[in-house]
Amino acid sequence: MDWSGTQTPLVSGKQKELPRAVLFSHPCTCLQLRMNFLRGKALGPVALLAVVLVAVAAYFFQPWKLFVDTEVQEAIPTVYPTPSENSTASPRETETPQETVQFPLVLAQGVLVSHEHQTSGEVKILQLDDGSRVLRLENLDTSDGPRVAVWLTDAPVIEGQEGWRVFDDGKYISLGAMKGNQGNQNYEIPTDLDLSDASSISLWCVTFSVSFGAAELVPTS
């Protein structure tokens, strides 16, 4: 019987490759190609979804901030009233018959303790000569993070993990985003805010609802 029309001849000990038309017409080969094609189509949306999820997580959690320091140095705030023509008083002083008041006045102060992140520095509430008040962070050193704000609160300052999440339980007000994780910084206090209930400050991470560090405010008088 003549097999010359169907048998694949051997050339130099190796099987001669089938023509492309024959290869793609083979049912097993077509099935494998179809499966590979469908697998590729399925992986496309999955890969795209993964990229989107990573981008969203990076936007909200900003993990790189834990490894980057932002130093902000601001001078102690002062407000100098314009003296009258006959006035000889120093712009830093208000003279009375009994005493000379030096501005800014320190209304309260405290020392930062560590909570979720190692934190150190001092806190002062200052009153300027125009009556405005400022919360000042001095020698601040903490970690940066996503959406960290400076909060005035009525919560107690508790060291250790028990004190990490107490500052949103009662009264609190945000004085704005933390300007930097290092340095000396000023934060304006609203003029209509009653400070009698403000017993502490917290460097509060809004994203994770946790305190990076906090300080008890002790009145100076």
Q: Is residue 8 part of a domain?
A: no
Q: Is the dihedral of CA 127, 131, 134, 135 positive or negative?
A: positive
> Please, what is the end-to-end C-alpha distance for the chain in angstroms?
117
Same domain, 183 and 114: yes
**Per-residue pLDDT of the chain in tens (221 residues, 90 and over written 9):** 443 444 444 444 444 554 554 444 555 555 565 666 556 555 566 666 555 554 444 444 455 455 689 999 999 998 755 454 444 545 555 555 556 778 999 999 999 999 999 999 999 999 999 999 999 999 999 999 889 999 999 999 999 999 999 999 999 999 999 999 999 999 999 999 999 989 999 999 999 999 999 999 999 98
- Please say whether the beta carbons of 217 and 199 come within 8 A: yes
Same domain, 128 and 56: no
Amino acid at 146: P
Same domain, 76 and 173: yes
Q: What is the model's pTM?
A: 0.66
**Cα–chain center distance at 204:** 9
Same domain, 209 and 148: yes
Q: Is residue 156 part of a domain?
A: yes
Same domain, 76 and 56: no
Same domain, 200 and 156: yes
**Cα–chain center distance at 79:** 31
- Identify the CATH number of the domain in which residue 157 sits: 2.60.40
